[in-house]
Amino acid sequence: MRDSKHIVVYHRGRYFKVWLYHDGRLLKPREMEQQMQRILDNTSEPQPGEARLAALTAGDRFPWARCRQAYFGRGKNKQSLDAVEKAAFFVTLDETEQGYRTEDPDTSMDSYAKSLLHGQCYDRWFDKSFTFVVFKNGKIGINAEHSWADAPIMAHLWEYVMSTDSLQLGYAEDGHCKGDTNPNIPYPTRLQWDIPGECQEVIETSLNTANLLANDVDFHSFPFVAFGKGIIKKCRTSPDAFVQLALQLAHYKDKWHRVLIASYCVKVKVWEAVPLKQER
């Protein structure tokens, strides 16, 4: 299997293909920043149906499968879809501002988490393994599709990214990535789409379906500073198991008439809590 050599970036309803290599090497951080700035400076408008295209990945699967067969199996649509699906990962340059605010920790964290979970339901490509979401105020997070890996994989990736950024790469005094720009690097390429009216109707239907699901999600997060994983490990307990047990206990106390069953998978040595309603 060949490694992908490009990413796809979504910004203001447009899709851009960005090569990660130039002259046989990976782009340096300052060069990647240059490519992102070129996208931000691009004033072109979305093509018909382009802005909300990713809603097809957020709604029911059957309409998306039928649209793929009918409208994305040939021509420019197939080439652009191949660019998205063969990209190393997907990036959204989000126009909103998110992140933790000390003056309003609960609401800000709730909004931050909800945005990473589903955004506007058309600005994350939910079929990709993961989408990096970069907000207008510089905050960043990940939307990950769960079937290929458990959460610790993304956690380790994120720890690597953050530590490398802080300890090895760093920034210049003016806030830019260290290094120089490179005018010889080709500009990001706009992906081209020809989305007929019938497909645009399916996109809107999928978006409505996704919005109903998103609006039905209540998400509340808050900072917990009483203790961390260090104390849990001193008790010779896995932090993951500790949290899983806490979730089960909270659920049991809240829904005493339910039974919690742990389903075990011996091969991968993980388990998930499955709440089942007890029949009376």
Helix axes 197-215, 61-71, angle to 10 degrees: 160
Check if the beta carbon of residue 14 is closer than 8 Å to that of residue 96. Answer: no
Check if the beta carbon of residue 122 is closer than 8 Å to that of residue 52. Answer: yes
Order of strands across the sheet with 90-93?
140-144, 130-134, 90-93, 6-11, 14-19, 189-190
∠ CA 87-206-6, nearest 5°, is: 5
The DSSP output letter for 46 is P
User: Distance (Å, rounded) from C-alpha 20 to C-alpha 79?
Assistant: 18
Check if the beta carbon of residue 133 is closer than 8 Å to that of residue 54. Answer: no
Q: Tokens for 133, please give them.
A: 């979401």
Secondary structure (DSSP) of 154-198? HHHHHHHHHHHIIIII-B-TTSSBSS---TTSPPPEEP-----HH
User: Distance (Å, rounded) from C-alpha 242 to C-alpha 263?
Assistant: 16
Q: Which residues belong to the active site? A: 146
Closest CA to 275 of 255, 219, 264, 266: 255
Q: How many residues does the chain have?
A: 280
